[in-house]
Structure 1
Amino acid sequence: MPFRAYSPETRTLLGAQLVFNLGFYAVVPFMAGAMRSDFGWGAAAIGLVLGARTFSQQGMFLFGGMLADRWGARRSILAGCLVRIGGYGTLLAASDLPLFLLGAVLTGVGGALFSPALQARLAVADRTTEVNPKRNSVFVWLAITGEAGAVLGPLLGTALLGWGFDAALAAGIGIFAVITVLLWWRLPPDKTHGDGAAGRSPASLRPAGGCLRDRRFLAFCLLASVNLLAYNQLYFAVPVELDRRGLGQAWMGGLFLLASVLTLALQLPVAAASRRIGPGPTLSAGFALLAVAFAVAAATSVDPEGPPSTSFAPIAAVVAFLVLGHMAITPMILALVPDYFPRGLSAGLGAGYGLVATSGGVAVLAGNMVLGRLVDATERHQWWPGTPWVPLVMVALMSALALPRVLPAQPAAKASLPAGTTTAT
C-alpha cells in the first residue's frame, strides 16, 4: 500500500521511526572512537559502556512494553524521546567513566521505552475493521523508514565529527527535541474506548506480563528470536570470515551498504510476495534463506591456518541471503503479534512486542557466546573451518519447520493477508 494512503497518525509514527534512527546512528556508532580518542580509555572500559548500552535497550524491551501498556503508547513514546535526550545530555556533560556509562544506559532505556510502544501503536492505528491489510503492510514501511534513518545517520555523524563528538551529541539532542515536540503535537492521545486500553476497566485488561504465561506465544518468541541471532551475524560471523580471507574490516562498509540497498530496493517486492503466499510459508521461506546464508558461509569458509583467500563474492552472498531472509521474517513477525491478543489489541500488546525484542536480545547474547567458543575451538583443534556455522543452519531450519505450527489460528481470508522492520534503536 502506498505511503500516502496511510492515515496522518500512521505517517507520523513512520516518520518518527526514521528520525529516531537518524538521531541514534548519528551518535552511537562513533561512541567507541570517542571513548578512545577523547578520553583515552582502554578496551575494557569501551566494552563495558557498549555492552551496558545494548543490554539496557534489548534487555529492557519487555519492561518498556509493559510500561506502554500501563501508561499508554503515546506517553511511552514521548518518554522514550525525553530519556534519550537525557542520555545524550549526560554523555555531553560526562568527564569520567561513571557519568559516561550512565549516559549510555539512559540512551538504551530511551529506545526500550520508544520501540515497543511505537510498534503497538502502529498495530492499532489503522485497524478499523477486524480484517485490515493495513496492519500488515505498515510494518514493511516501518522497515523501510528505519533503514533510511540507519543509512543517513552515519553520514550525518561523519559530517559532524569534524567539529568533535560533542557536535554529534548536540545535533542528536536537537533531533530528538524536535521529534518530541512534533509527536506531542501530531500524535493523538491514546484511545479511551473500544480497543484503547485507557478506557477499559482493569479487570478487562490482560495482566502486565500476561504474555509470559501464554505457552504458544512464548514458543513463537523463542523461534522468532533466531531471526535476530542470524541477522546479528553481520557483526560477528561476517567479520570473522573477512578476517580469515585477509580482506580486512574496511570491506564491512561495502557489506553494510549492500544490506541497506537491498532493504530499500526489495522490501516492498518481498512484502508483495509474502501477501501472495501467506504467513506460514513466508516464515518458512525466510528462515530457509537464513539457513542457506550460513550453509554458504560454512561451505566457503577459509582455514585460518591455510593460505588466505581474497574472494569477496561468498561473503556478499551470505549477506544477501541474510538480508532477504530478514526482510521476509521481521515485518511478518511484528504483524502477527496482535493475533495472540484477542481480548483487545491494546491489552498487553506493548508487553508482547517487548517480549519479542527481549527474546531476540537474549538469543544474540547466548548464541554469540556459544559461537565464539566454537570459533576458538575450531581454530585450536583445527576442525573443518565451517564448523561454527553449522549450528546456525540447524536452528534456522528448526524455526522454518516449527514456527508455522505455533501461529495463532486465523480465518482463511485473514491468513492470506500481507505481512509486512527494523527495530527502532
Structure 2
Amino acid sequence: MLKPENTAKKTRDHTVFFALPLPVRLLLITQLLFNVGFYLVVPFLATFMHENLAATGAMIGLVLGMRTFSQQGLFFLGGALTDRFGVKPVLLTGIAIRVAGFILAGLSTSISSLMIAVILIGFAAALFSPAAEASFAVAGKKTEEDGIVSRAELFALDALFSRVGSLTGPVLGALLLSTGFPVMCMVAAGIFTLLFFAHACIVPAVKTPPSESVWASFSQVLRNRPFLIFAAAYSTGLVCYNQQYLALPVELMRATGNQGALGWMFVFASVFSLALQMPLARWAQAHPRTVSLKIGFGLMASAFAIIALCAPFPAPTALGGMLALAPSILMLILMHTGQMIALPIARDLVGVLAKEQSVGTYFGFLNSCGGVAVLLSSLIVGSLLDAATIPQPQAAFPWLVLTGMMAASAVVLPMIAARATR
C-alpha cells in the first residue's frame, strides 16, 4: 500500500485533482456529470407518474423497482463485457442507451412506455458503471506506482465527485421543474449526449487487461473464494447506505411523530460527507487496511446500535423536541464516517483480490451482490420496521439486525484483507 510519506506533496487537498493524469481527471468530471444527469430526473419520476399518468402507489413501486433491478441486477454482465470488449465500447454503448432512455421517458404518455424507458436508463448504468470502476481500478494502480495518489484515495475522489453530482442534479431538476418533466428528461439526454462525444473524442480509453471470453471472466470470479466472501461482507455497506431511505424515516416517525426533518437530514449527510471524504480517506490510508476496515464497519454497526438502544423508549421533549433528533443525527455521522473510512479501502482491495485481472467483472459482480443484499435485507428489515414506529421493546429488532450485519462485516473483511497480498 502506498505510504503517506511517499505521496508527492503536491497531492494535498487543494491540488490533488490537478496532480492526476488528464484521462483520470476527465473520468472524475464525467462521473460528476453522470450523477447530475441521473439525479436531474429520477427523483422526480414518482411525482410525474402520480400527477401526470395517474399511477397507483403499487405501479410506481413496480416501475422504480424495475429500474433498480435492471441496473444493480445486471452489473455483473456489464463488468464481464468490459473485460471482453474493453472499457470504451461498453462505456459508449451504455451512455447511448441512457440517452435513448431519457428521450423515451420525456416522450412517454403511458406507464408502459415509461417502464421501458426506466429499464433502459437502469441497464445503461449496468454497462457504463462497471466500465468506469474498472477504469479507476487500473488508473489507480498506475497513479499509485507513480507516487501520485493511492488507488484507495482515487476511489475516495470518485466518491466525492459522484456526491457533488448527486447534490447538483436534484437542485437543477428543481429549477427546471416548472418547465415540465419532458424538458427535464431532454436536458438529461443532452448532458449524456455531451458525455458520449466527450468519451468518444476527448477522454482517452483506459486499458484494462482483456479476458478470453465473458464466461472465462465469470469462471475466474466464481472460483475466487476469498473474493466471494469479501463480496458478501462488503455488500452490507450498500445495505447500510440504503437505510437512509428505508429505516431513517421510521426512526424520525418514532422520535418526532412525522418525517418533516428527513430532507434536512439528507442535506446534513451530504455536506458532512463532502467536507470529510478526503481527510478521512487519507487517515484510512495512514493505517493498515485491516484497521481501517474494522473501524469503518465498526462505526456503521455502532450507528444502528445507537438507535437500537433508544428505540424502545419515548423520545425526550427537551429543547422543543430537538433532542429527539439526536439519535438520527448521530446515526448519520457514524454511518457516513464509517463509509468514508472503509469503502475506498475496500474498493482498492477488489483489484488486489482479482490479481488485477478481469477487474470489470469483479466490480460488476460486487455491485450485483450488493443489489441482491439490499433487496433481501429490505424484505427482512422492512417486515420488522412496522413495529419500530412507536417506542416499544420490539422497536429495537430491525436495528439489532442491522447492527449484527455490520458487526459481522467488521470481523470478516479485515480477515480477508489480512490474507490479501500486493
SS of 2:260's equivalent in the other structure is: helix
Aligned 8 A contact 1:244 1:302 in 2: no
SS of 2:217's equivalent in the other structure is: coil
Query: What one-letter code is carried by the residue in structure 2 that aligns with 1:314?
Result: P
Shift of 1:403: 1.0
So what's the TM-score if we normalise by structure 1?
Answer: 0.89
Matched, 1:338 2:348: no
Aligned 8 A contact 2:144 2:150 in 1: no
Q: 1:316 to 1:128 in 2, by over 3 A?
A: closer
Q: 1:398 to 1:95 in 2, by over 3 A?
A: same
Q: 1:378 to 1:240 in 2, by over 3 A?
A: closer
CA–CA distance in structure 2, aligned partners of residues 147 and 40 of structure 1? 32
Aligned 8 A contact 1:339 1:408 in 2: no
Aligned 8 A contact 2:311 2:391 in 1: no
Equivalences for 1:68-107 in 2 at 5 Å?
Answer: 68-107=82-121
Matched, 1:16 2:16: no
Aligned 8 A contact 1:190 1:196 in 2: no
Aligned 8 A contact 1:241 1:302 in 2: no
CA–CA distance in structure 2, aligned partners of residues 324 and 305 of structure 1? 25
Please name the residue that 1:54 is paired with: 68
SS of 1:277's equivalent in the other structure is: coil
SS of 2:395's equivalent in the other structure is: coil
Aligned 8 A contact 1:26 1:155 in 2: yes
Please name the residue that 1:112 is paired with: 126
Matched, 1:249 2:259: yes
Matched, 1:33 2:43: no
Please name the residue that 1:423 is paired with: none
Q: Is the helix fraction higher in 1 or 2?
A: 2
CA–CA distance in structure 2, aligned partners of residues 146 and 189 of structure 1? 20
List per-residue Cα deviations over 1:19-61 (Å, max 9, x = no partner). 0000001100000000011111111110110010011111111
- The one of 48, 59, 79 aligned to 1:45: 59
Aligned 8 A contact 1:283 1:403 in 2: yes
Please name the residue that 2:190 is paired with: 174
- When the two chains are superposed, the root-mean-square deviation of aligned CA atoms in Å is 2.5
Shift of 1:380: 10
- The one of 143, 147, 159 aligned to 1:143: 159
CA–CA distance in structure 1, aligned partners of residues 91 and 347 of structure 2? 18
List per-residue Cα deviations over 1:130-167 (Å, max 9, x = no partner). 84653221101101100000110000000000111111
CA–CA distance in structure 2, aligned partners of residues 273 and 306 of structure 1? 36
Give the length in aligned residue pairs: 403
CA–CA distance in structure 2, aligned partners of residues 377 and 149 of structure 1? 36
Shift of 1:377: 5.5
Q: Which has the higher contact order (CA 8 A, sep 6+)?
A: 1
Q: 1:267 to 1:379 in 2, by over 3 A?
A: closer
SS of 2:53's equivalent in the other structure is: coil
Please name the residue that 2:3 is paired with: none
Equivalences for 1:346-365 in 2 at 5 Å?
Answer: 347-365=357-375
Percentage identity across paired residues of the two chains: 35
SS of 1:250's equivalent in the other structure is: coil
- The one of 304, 308, 323 aligned to 2:336: 323
So what's the TM-score if we normalise by structure 2?
Answer: 0.90
Aligned 8 A contact 1:69 1:208 in 2: no
CA–CA distance in structure 2, aligned partners of residues 4 and 381 of structure 1? 51
Gaps of 5+ in 2: 1-10
CA–CA distance in structure 2, aligned partners of residues 381 and 321 of structure 1? 22
Query: What one-letter code is carried by the residue in structure 1 that aligns with 2:337?
Result: L
